[in-house]
Chain A
Amino acid sequence: MSLLEVRDLDAGYGDLQILTDVDLDVDDEEYVTIVGPNGAGKSTVMKSVFGLTTHMGGTVTFDGEDISGTKPEDVIHKGLGYVPQNENVFAELSVEENLEMGAYILDEVPQDALGTVYDRFPILEERKEQRAGTMSGGQRQMLAMGRALMLDPELLLLDEPSAGLAPDLVDEMFDKIDEINGTGTAILMVEQNAKEALRRCDRGYVLSNGQNRYEDEGTVLLNDEEVRREFLGG
């Protein structure tokens, strides 16, 4: 049984259905990406796992427990972390306060986890007193990841981690994700930068119009004629 199992998921916003019969698995310590054109419903899959959409059918199972329809503030207790694409830091709070909020559900701020995050992203320790809203896009993205890692989740959801980053930072960001995955955290990632994402991941899904289209090892998808022509621009 996989760590995360999505079966026949129908979901959307209010009356608007976006996803139809989506199936998706993430195994322990696996690195999975979802690619596809704009409006394919990639982000909606992530939001649905975290209870931020209207659940219309199907199941989301995590670690053997059905979590479909669980409220967002309860999902984090199950061992999942989520970095949304936009507005993913508390702009008014300092860097350190953002990280403290990441561990809000614990009684005390876990100093070892805080140390691990600072080791992984040294810039955050240098700037821990700075207001998050005044940092650059790349630094904010690191802070958002750091915040989600404070509880050492079994599965980390990353929505477009490279969006809006300067080209030289994109590689650094993907390296960080490899490192996080290397220490045993499973990753489910949505990426615009589909080629790089598929090159790095274990397995990939191609989504279009809210439905599964292809699923295979990342490098296989990358070399598939149809996938290349339809979704990767040749």
Chain B
Amino acid sequence: MNISETYVRYRRSLGEEPLAIGVVLVALWMAWTLVSGLATGGIRVSSLASLVWDGLLRGLIIGLAGIGLSMTYSILNFANFAHGDYLTSGAFAGMATSYLIAGIGENSVGALLLVGAGGSVFGGAIGIGVTTSPVAVALGAIVAGASTIALALAIDRFVYKPIRDESGIALLITSIGVAFALRYLIQFVFGAGVRGTTAAGSVPRVNVPALDGTFRITAHDVSLIVVAGGLMLGVHLLLQRTKLGKAMRAMSDNEDLARITGIPTEQVIRTTWIVGAGLTGVAGYMFVLWKGTLGFNDGWLLLLLVFAAVILGGIGSIYGAIGGGIVIGLTASVSVIWIPSEFGRAAAFMVMIVILLFKPSGIFSGRTTA
């Protein structure tokens, strides 16, 4: 091979793959910054570990919320923009329950049910926490799931079902309307203030040593992992092992064939809402328990990341939602090593775009449910 040929090949590869080269250069720069930072002590191993831990937990919440979004997308064929406000509803219903159980007797029932609207009761004062009030937290999570199921079924019955045969766009725009209605209804009832919900100081924690320091694991981190992991495993078993779960996969795969096989489609749709909304409500509650604050915008703000995760994973795939959630969560947290923390969310979307440029149908593309 002579020099001019090599040159032509070199030029061609540059011309065809500018994006790939750009990505490789950025990745090299990031790796160099990280390694040199760690070597010189500019970046502490313990703070990196702490960011990774935080990103994983964030990713689990996004993933758990994403399963519900992905399931309704693959079976009902529309992107439900009200999904974020289902998270918020679950969080408020669950927290109202926890407040009521933990604070009854010393506070007015109304203030407890309104989750301390206007600073009437503080979650810290009544000791909300997985160790300080385990019964209140467990029941709160259950009520969060159950109430979100009831809400989703009611909305499906009165809003989505009558227009089920319309196009996905009509359903999508309707769901945006539902999202606004729910969000401002929640604001109307519970107020616009962001409140602290947990007794953050009394949550047990261990400091895990990491070379040059420690990073913190709290009891709420652990309960999030247990709940999210357990529910994800449960959904997996439901879809792979039960008759109804297999029917859900069949319907998401080929609705016409499902119908001529005798699968009752409305029953499958109802089950999808029950499972999806239940997971979403619990995800909303666990999110608020974990971060310790609650506001009427929480679910809406999380929704963009949930969408990013679901699209990244390959929309319609529950394993994609989990995988995508963890990638998005990790990126949003760990990116502060390279860029200011205000851009964490932007970084998550950048990663989504870059991955989709290389694999347009998502990481788990084409595998809707397996």
- Which residues of A have CB within 8 Å of B370? 92-93, 131
Q: Are the CB atoms of B257 and A87 closer together than 8 Å? A: yes
Give the distance in Å from the alpha carbon of A104 to the alpha carbon of B264 in the complex.
Answer: 9
- Which residues of B have CB within 8 Å of A131? 370
Q: 15 pairs across A/B with beta carbons < 8 Å?
A: A52-B256, A52-B260, A74-B262, A75-B260, A84-B260, A88-B257, A89-B257, A93-B246, A93-B250, A93-B370, A97-B246, A101-B247, A101-B258, A104-B261, A104-B263
The residue from B249, B254, B264 contacting A73, defined by CB atoms under 8 A apart: B264
Q: Are the CB atoms of B260 and A50 closer together than 8 Å? A: yes
- Which residues of A have CB within 8 Å of B253? 90-93
- Which residues of A have CB within 8 Å of B262? 73-74, 76-77, 104-105
- The CB with the most chain A CB atoms within 10 A, among B247, B259, B263, B367, is that of B259
Whether B368 is near chain A, meaning CB under 8 Å from some CB there, is yes
The residue from A73, A88, A147 contacting B259, defined by CB atoms under 8 A apart: A73
Give the distance in Å from the alpha carbon of A105 to the alpha carbon of B249 in the complex.
Answer: 16
Q: Are the CB atoms of B261 and A102 closer together than 8 Å? A: yes
Closest to B266 in A: A73
Q: How far is the CB of A150 from chain B (nearest CB, A)?
A: 9
Whether A39 is near chain B, meaning CB under 8 Å from some CB there, is no
Closest to B368 in A: A92
Whether A137 is near chain B, meaning CB under 8 Å from some CB there, is no
Whether A31 is near chain B, meaning CB under 8 Å from some CB there, is no
Give the distance in Å from the alpha carbon of A23 to the alpha carbon of B128 in the complex.
Answer: 73
Chain A, 62-81, contact with B by CB distance < 8 Å: what is the 0/1 string? 00000000011111110000
The residue from B247, B249, B252, B256 contacting A104, defined by CB atoms under 8 A apart: B247
Q: How far is the CB of A105 from chain B (nearest CB, A)?
A: 4
Interface residues of A (CB under 8 A from B): 50, 52, 71-77, 82, 84, 87-93, 97, 100-102, 104-105, 131, 147
Q: Are the CB atoms of B263 and A90 closer together than 8 Å? A: no
Interface residues of B (CB under 8 A from A): 243, 246-247, 249-250, 252-254, 256-265, 367-370
Q: How far is the CB of A178 from chain B (nearest CB, A)?
A: 24
- Which residues of A have CB within 8 Å of B243? 100, 104
Query: With A92-B249, A93-B249, A104-B247 as given contacts, are A76 and B254 in contact (CB-CB < 8 Å)?
Result: no
Give the distance in Å from the alpha carbon of A100 to the alpha carbon of B262 in the complex.
Answer: 12
Give the distance in Å from the alpha carbon of A101 to the alpha carbon of B244 in the complex.
Answer: 10
Q: Are the CB atoms of A90 and B249 closer together than 8 Å? A: yes
Q: How far is the CB of A136 from chain B (nearest CB, A)?
A: 18
Closest to B74 in A: A92
- Which residues of A have CB within 8 Å of B265? 73
Give the distance in Å from the alpha carbon of A90 to the alpha carbon of B325 in the complex.
Answer: 27
Q: How far is the CB of B23 from chain A (nearest CB, A)?
A: 31
Query: With A92-B367, A93-B249 as given contacts, are A101 and B260 in contact (CB-CB < 8 Å)?
Result: no
Closest to A131 in B: B370
Q: How far is the CB of B114 from chain A (nearest CB, A)?
A: 45
Give the distance in Å from the alpha carbon of A102 to the alpha carbon of B262 in the complex.
Answer: 8
The residue from A71, A89, A100, A105 contacting B246, defined by CB atoms under 8 A apart: A100
Q: Are the CB atoms of B254 and A101 closer together than 8 Å? A: no
Q: Are the CB atoms of B261 and A76 closer together than 8 Å? A: yes
Closest to B267 in A: A73
- Which residues of B have CB within 8 Å of A89? 257
- The CB with the most chain B CB atoms within 10 A, among A89, A90, A91, is that of A90
- The CB with the most chain A CB atoms within 10 A, among B262, B263, B369, is that of B262
Give the distance in Å from the alpha carbon of A93 to the alpha carbon of B259 in the complex.
Answer: 16
Q: How far is the CB of A81 from chain B (nearest CB, A)?
A: 9
What 14 additional pairs, Cβ within 8 angstroms, besides A90-B258, A92-B253? A71-B259, A72-B259, A74-B262, A77-B262, A84-B256, A84-B257, A84-B260, A92-B252, A92-B370, A101-B250, A102-B261, A104-B262, A105-B262, A131-B370
Q: How far is the CB of A127 from chain B (nearest CB, A)?
A: 16
- Which residues of A have CB within 8 Å of B254? 87, 90-91
Q: Which 6 A-B pairs have the closest CB atoms?
A: A76-B262, A105-B262, A72-B259, A92-B253, A90-B253, A90-B250
Q: Are the CB atoms of B250 and A73 closer together than 8 Å? A: no
The residue from A84, A92, A97, A101 contacting B263, defined by CB atoms under 8 A apart: A101
- The CB with the most chain A CB atoms within 10 A, among B253, B367, B369, B370, is that of B253
- Which residues of A have CB within 8 Å of B257? 84, 87-90
Give the distance in Å from the alpha carbon of A101 to the alpha carbon of B260 in the complex.
Answer: 10
- Which residues of B have CB within 8 Å of A88? 257
- Which residues of A have CB within 8 Å of B247? 101, 104
Give the distance in Å from the alpha carbon of A119 to the alpha carbon of B370 in the complex.
Answer: 28
Q: Are the CB atoms of B260 and A73 closer together than 8 Å? A: yes
Give the distance in Å from the alpha carbon of A75 to the alpha carbon of B262 in the complex.
Answer: 8
Closest to B247 in A: A104
Q: How far is the CB of B28 from chain A (nearest CB, A)?
A: 38
